[in-house]
Amino acid sequence: MAAVQDGGSELEGEKEPKPELMNDGSTAPAAAPSSRPEDQQTLLAVLQFLKRNKLIESVDALRREAGLADEPEEAPGSEAAGGAGGAAAGSGELGDAGALLSRVSGGSQSAAAPAPAKGGDDQPDVSVVLSAYSQQGDPSLYQVYYSGLKKFIESVLDCHRAELSQLFYPLFVHMYLELVYNNHESEAKSFFEKFNGDQECYYQDDLRVLSGLTKKEHMKGNETLLDFRTSRFVLRISRDSYQLLKRHLQERQNNQIWNIIQEHLYIDIFDGMPRSKSQIDSMSGSLAGEAKREDNKTKVYYGLLKEPEIEVPLDDEDEEAENEEGKPKKKKPKKDSMGSKSKKQDPNAPQQNRIPLPELKDSDKLDKIMYMKEATKRIRLGPESLPSICFYTFLNAYQGLTAVDFTDDSSLLAGGFADSTVRVWSVTPKKLRKVKSAADLGMIDKESDDVLERIMDEKTASECKILYGHSGPVYGVSFSPDRNYLLSSSEDGTIRLWSLQTFTCLVAYKGHNYPVWDTQFSPYGYYFVSGGHDRVARLWATDHYQPLRMFAGHLADITCTRFHPNSNYVATGSADRTIRLWDVLNGHCVRVLTGHKGPIHTLAFSPNGKYLASGSTDGRVLLWDIGHGLMIGELKGHTDTIYALRFSRDGEILASGSMDNTVRLWDAIRAFDDVETDDFTAATGHVHLPDNSQELLLGTYLSKSTPVIHLHFTRRNLLLSAGAYNSQ
Amino acid sequence: MTEAREERRFAEVPRESIKLMAESAGVELGDDVAAMLAEDVCYRLREATQNSSQFMRHAKRRKLTVEDFNRALRWSNTETICGYGAQDALPFRPLKEGELFFVEDREVNLVELALATNIPKGCAETMVRVHVSYLDGKGNLEPQGTVPSAVQSLSDDLLKYYQQITRAILGEDPHLMKVALLDLQSNSKIAALLPYFVYVISGVKSVSHDLDQLNRLLHMVKSLVQNPYLYLGSYVRSLVSSVMYCILEPLAASINPLNDHWTLRDYAALLLSHIFWTHGDLVSGLYHQILLSLQKVLSDPVRPLCSHYGAVVGLHALGWKAVERVLYPHLPAYWANLQAVLDDYSVSNAQVKADGHKVYGAILVAVERLLKMKDVSLTGAAEGSAAALQNSAGGVIGFRESSPGLSPPPEPLSEPPLGIASHLQAGGAGCQWEEWTPVSLPAMYCELYSFFGDSLAVRFSTGPALGGAPSATPIQSSDSRKEPGNGTANLESTRKMPQLTANMNISPRQDGSPRTEPAPPSLAATASGRSLARSSSSSSSVTRSRSSSSRPGRSASQSRDIFPKTRFTPPQAGPPAFSFLIGGRQMGRRCQGRRFQTSFTPTPLLTSLPPRAYAHKLPVIGRVSKPVRRWTCSHYSLYLPL
């Protein structure tokens, strides 16, 4: 198998051409000799699956296509044979095929197989997956093997020890699972007891799940285990350390461990200095190890799109004001505000028409003009001039506030609640009004100048509108940039599009069959992204009831989604403790960012599109350089889950809001400046993180017993935060 | 060994429980089956719990709820658990005998629940409130980490109700006002609005020029006090303070004698007693604080007569004990000053004198009842019959009905007046409780008789015979008004009115009557200008005042002298001893004869009083150029609702 692969030879061109495709071994050229029987086995598994789901026609079609004459009953037999015979390579591939199947069933968007209930009756697939564990070793020797390796690693030079220590966790888990799978319950327990203390503390959550699992039957349907099995745990080890390990294992004839390494781990070997413990720790922690270097090699066009040129008509009053100030000043700010940046094309920006974007309407242009006007009045923030903070407290929210969003111009506020409602408030004195009914609309003079005003029904004016429609807690809300629509995602598996003109539901997008944790509109409108419990992020267009793209690859729930400012990329954070960046154009995963030690609950792009900030349950904010795919900062300070992150309008300040009832402000400019991204770091991906959280922290601001769940900078850089007052 | 450690890691369902449950379902389980099942159940429970935690995380909570767990179950195609969704904590109780643990499950009476009037928590509308927490990232405008003040903000309905009610009460339409007041009296859901109403009522200070508004506000107080669903709590102080304001302050409205502020004071006094008797227990020391402030006003000669009047009716309203305790000891000192006012027949003094008569009448009523009640209480005590007390109590004055027991709450006298309503505070700050020893009834009578003469005697002797207080009071009050004016005139109105014959004799002219005598405009201003300095001043003033009295209303320069005490001449009629004493006192005072006067004081109080017990600083009232037409109206004030 090619699981172990030299760093120099870039054989594996894994680019996940299709979202449905996992890191399966089909791309491994070294497995060529055995590829034919493998394919056959995969086919058999598929056939078996189809048959079980009573898709007779599909079975026939597939059999005809594959030219298979065998009885399908053979499939289990061959499985068993594969398992018993210790055909490691074969069963490994079979496992991945199973993974594929389980993916398909989870994704439910495959043309071949309509979705069965996930995790329900997919027993054959799981058994296929797990059969990889069926090779028998002496169960009593497992502890010996493991402690032998432990002794070896502890005896090697310090520089290698840290790297090789990475092996402990994946080996431990796989050996434990093997024991459990082969019904060696007591051995498994004692193995766990003996060695679980050695594991890194940030794996505690997974270990807790693991420790509860002592029976083979329990392994079926346990998603965490499936993840572990279907994805190779990725380790980055220097060549020297790897050679050391290899020599040791060969000398000791320790085939058990060697097999596991070959089958279940992916060792990414690099040349050069071994990494230090802190370097390793900062990058590890995700469910499936670190990101492979290849994952982050693709070029990302992180630059901003050119703004359409809009003549800013200077209002009379403005002109007067400026005249009063004095004439020499008049010209200067105008030129500045028009923006030299909009004239030049950013070299890192994607082509303007890389993805089709909706055309600007007149109202959009007006809004842009408003934006520019506001922008000229913006306060420049910095360590010396911190923003004022306004707190929007939700009172009497006994039903549970789960999501909040502000419009870009800070005029509307939406709250998603656990009682399935979405409530929209007007933050300004302007009340919310519905459009008149169709009959009344017919009576309006359509030629009149104030027709837009006339279509509104004054009688419906109120501060707050409640939108009913979901049948489960609303976990995500997002306003469209033009403030005409609102999206909400809910536990009921749907995303709903609401009109803010009529305050009714327009569309319910069905596709996620499980809770949808988050959704967000593209900064240019029209597109939106959603992600949920089914581990697939979907890209939608408002006028399509089916998704345009599906981004699959996360190993656990997608907890948050965010559009890149140029709308060409989508970032997703997941409970598998990784962040992925997806290309909207082709659906590829272009970045995998690891380093968080807990589920990621919030993401924020810097306004220039160059950086990404992420916050997780471990209370840390990590900063990422998107261009290089590198972690460039770690902000420690919060003591609880971070639910909100936001950069100020000019990107000088990063605000983070947390369950610990605080808002913290960080010096973003300094955080990005302090990092020297030389070529070596960029090439190897080894980061040295300065431990300067305390210097970057500009302020900690307590709310009034209110968890902060949303942050928003107004166009003039006033910081708005929102949360529900918690009386307990 | 591992088994034991494993069990410590997780909560386990013991196989016995599984067996029990199986038995209850009618299935017999073997040990090994039960063990397997128990293990599986534990695992499934753990799995469901782990799955449920993600719902908690996404709901941005720290607390795992039953609902979260049910969602996890639902998504794993398992039946959900019903009956545990309540917001309240579920008490988990052990049962010792059976080593059983269970969730307490009380029976709920649905009918009771449905008809319950208490509004459940959480029905308030969800709303968003914004506040600037940090300005420029620096200044903490409010202390950190506190509870937002607006947590219990009013619902829209309540706010509307508040607006409607206040508008109706303070508005022009009397009918609307009545409806609003009635509703305020009986509405059970306005507890949240109480502070707002109390705040409105505290606005009495800003409308002291408008008797009508003051009246309306007092009615509002009455409605609130009468509402059985309201717990006034510490708001009692605020209400009392507002009412006291109406009783005691020289309201701007009283500048114009046409305004019948007397009625307002009477009504406020009644209200005060009502509040005190019904809600006095809510605030400790309230009684003494009220007494102290009344006493302070009474003993402050700088205060205008209308304030004194208020103090007297206030004391009267608080019961005869209050009168005995405060008014009676102060009477000798006060009497001198009052008498001086009453004896000034100058035109300029007419208005003040009219006010003085009001005070006189009020004191007389109060004192009479004091004597009667004391008598009744003594005899009642002797007979031990509560019925007698009840009878007489009902007979004397309507007010007594609202005051079931006349004895004040047993509070230590030494209790210092604690800061509450500013008014009370101000009242209590200056004066301490004087030594007070109960005076026997005859002694008291003698003392009082020395002041009031026969008018008192008549009342006292005929009191029990009279049908009721209402008939008695008007007579008395009209007496008090008229007798100094012309004795012959008041004889026609009353049966036997020879009292204060001394006065009759001394006042040869008719100018005392306000009906005939318009007060010169210049008088009052000058009067208030010179105060005690003048009173204790040289004899030249005496002569002047004398001359002024002899030619009433003749010249402005003469009318400057405010309190011409010289007017009083030794009485020729009535019980000689008493009339002499009074005269002697007055004379003595004027000619520095205080020592002479003191010899007649029954209580040691007067000796302790400063020589100038009455500063003759009269208010700016009485500056009217036309005759008082409201005279007939104002005399009703005394027996209005008291």
pLDDT tens-digit profile of B31-72?
888 888 888 888 888 888 888 988 999 988 888 888 899 999
More confidently predicted of B583 and B571? B571
Q: Which of B401, B419, B452 is the last residue of a domain?
A: B452
Lowest mean pLDDT among A38-52, A612-626, B81-95, B352-366: A38-52
Task: Looking at the structure, tell me whether residues B162 and B207 fall in a common domain.
Answer: yes
Residues of chain B numbered 37-56 and touching chain A (CB < 8 Å): 39-40, 42-43, 46-47, 50, 54-55
Lowest mean pLDDT among A425-439, B9-23, B96-110: B96-110
Tell me: the pLDDT tens digits for A606-644? 999 999 999 999 899 999 999 888 888 889 999 999 999
Cβ pair A264, A178 in contact under 8 A:
no
Task: Looking at the structure, tell me whether residues B329 and B447 fall in a common domain.
Answer: yes
Tell me: the pLDDT tens digits for A353-411? 888 888 888 888 888 888 888 888 888 888 888 888 888 988 888 788 999 999 998 89
Question: Tell me, what's the pLDDT at B612?
Answer: 40
Question: Tell me, what's the pLDDT at B391?
Answer: 44
Q: Is A399 on the interface with B (CB under 8 A)?
A: yes
- Residue B406 maps to a domain: no
Task: Looking at the structure, tell me whether residues B162 and B261 fall in a common domain.
Answer: yes
Question: Tell me, what's the pLDDT at A118?
Answer: 40
Cβ pair B152, B144 in contact under 8 A:
no
Question: Highest-confidence range of A103-112, A689-698, B542-551, B559-568, by mean pLDDT?
Answer: A689-698
- Residue B94 maps to a domain: no
Residue A600's beta-bridge partner residues? A616
Task: Looking at the structure, tell me whether residues B272 and B353 fall in a common domain.
Answer: no
Residues of chain A numbered 320-379 and touching chain B (CB < 8 Å): none
Cβ pair A328, A296 in contact under 8 A:
no
Q: How far is CA A693 from CA A378, A646, B99, B489, in A?
A: 27, 17, 53, 98
What residues of chain B lie within 8 A of the CB of A417, using their CB?
126
Task: Looking at the structure, tell me whether residues B53 and B163 fall in a common domain.
Answer: no
Residues of chain A numbered 258-277 and touching chain B (CB < 8 Å): none
Strands A389-395 and A719-724, sheet pairing: parallel
Q: Is B6 on the interface with A (CB under 8 A)?
A: yes
More confidently predicted of A580 and B336? A580
Task: Looking at the structure, tell me whether residues B308 and B447 fall in a common domain.
Answer: yes
Residues of chain A numbered 585-624 and touching chain B (CB < 8 Å): 599, 601, 617
More confidently predicted of B537 and A43? A43
Tell me: the pLDDT tens digits for B182-225? 888 888 777 778 888 888 888 777 777 888 888 888 888 888 88
Q: What is the mean pLDDT of residues B131-158?
A: 55
Give the closest-approach CA distance of A160 to chain B in angstroms: 34
* Number of residues in chain A: 728
Integer Cα distance of B233 and A325 in angstroms: 60
- Residue B475 maps to a domain: no
Are the Cβ atoms of B137 and A575 closer than 8 angstroms?
no
The torsion of the CA quartet B8, B10, B13, B15, rounded to 10 degrees, works out to -50
Which of A211, A218, A393 is the best residue to mutate to test the B interface, defined by the most B CB atoms within 10 Å of its own CB?
A393
B375: nearest Cα among B272, B463, B251: B463
Range of the domain at B187: 152-276
Question: Tell me, what's the pLDDT at B601?
Answer: 37
Give the closest-approach CA distance of B185 to chain A in angstroms: 29
Integer Cα distance of B257 and B628 in angstroms: 7
Q: How far is CA B444 from CA A79, B297, B372, B374, in A?
A: 119, 23, 11, 10
Query: Can you list the residues of chain A whose pLDDT is less than 70?
Result: 1-41, 66-137, 224, 312-344, 676-686, 727-728
Q: What is the mean pLDDT of residues B440-454?
A: 76
Q: Could you tell me the CATH number of the domain that includes residue B175?
A: 1.25.40.770
- Residue B256 maps to a domain: yes
3-class DSSP string for B193-249: HHHHHHHHHHHHHHHCCCHHHHHHHHHHHHHHHHCCCCCCCCHHHHHHHHHHHHHHC
- Which one-letter amino acid corresponds to residue A404? V
Task: Looking at the structure, tell me whether residues B311 and B447 fall in a common domain.
Answer: yes
Give the closest-approach CA distance of A152 to chain B in angstroms: 27
Nearest beta carbon to residue B132 from set A222, A388, A515: A388
- Residue B198 maps to a domain: yes
Q: How far is CA B349 from CA A605, B501, B522, B531, B555, in A?
A: 87, 22, 10, 15, 13
Question: Tell me, what's the pLDDT at B166?
Answer: 84
- Residue B627 maps to a domain: no
Question: Tell me, what's the pLDDT at A611?
Answer: 92
Question: Tell me, what's the pLDDT at A152?
Answer: 87
Q: Which of B424, B452, B480 is the last residue of a domain?
A: B452
Q: Which of B276, B302, B328 is the last residue of a domain?
A: B276
Question: Tell me, what's the pLDDT at A643?
Answer: 94
ipTM of the complex: 0.76
Q: Is B9 on the interface with A (CB under 8 A)?
A: yes
Give the closest-approach CA distance of A723 to chain B in angstroms: 9
More confidently predicted of B592 and A53? A53
Strands A719-724 and A710-713, sheet pairing: antiparallel
What residues of chain B lie within 8 A of the CB of A601, using their CB?
57
- Residue B418 maps to a domain: no
Two structure tokens written together for B191: 């507890």
**Is residue A20 exposed (0-12), middle (13-18) or buried (19+ Cβ within 10 Å)?**
middle
Numbers of helices and strands, H then E, in chain B: 31, 4
CB atoms within 10 A of CB B263: 18
Task: Looking at the structure, tell me whether residues B266 and B368 fall in a common domain.
Answer: no
Integer Cα distance of B93 and B90 in angstroms: 9
Q: Could you tell me the CATH number of the domain that includes residue B51?
A: 1.10.20.10
Give the closest-approach CA distance of B12 to chain A in angstroms: 11
Question: Highest-confidence range of B132-141, B440-449, B493-502, by mean pLDDT?
Answer: B440-449
Specify the DSSP element, H or E, that contains A478. Answer: strand A474-479
Q: Is A206 on the interface with B (CB under 8 A)?
A: no
- Residue B44 maps to a domain: yes
Q: Is A707 on the interface with B (CB under 8 A)?
A: yes
Are the Cβ atoms of B137 and A186 closer than 8 angstroms?
no
Integer Cα distance of A695 and A691 in angstroms: 9
Task: Looking at the structure, tell me whether residues B187 and B205 fall in a common domain.
Answer: yes
Question: Tell me, what's the pLDDT at A199?
Answer: 81
Number of domains in chain B: 3
Task: Looking at the structure, tell me whether residues B268 and B293 fall in a common domain.
Answer: no
Task: Looking at the structure, tell me whether residues B267 and B169 fall in a common domain.
Answer: yes
3-class DSSP string for A596-661: CCCCEEEEEECCCCCEEEEEECCCEEEEEECCCCEEEEEEECCCCCEEEEEECCCCCEEEEEECCC
Task: Looking at the structure, tell me whether residues B250 and B325 fall in a common domain.
Answer: no
- Is A709 in a helix, a strand, or coil? coil
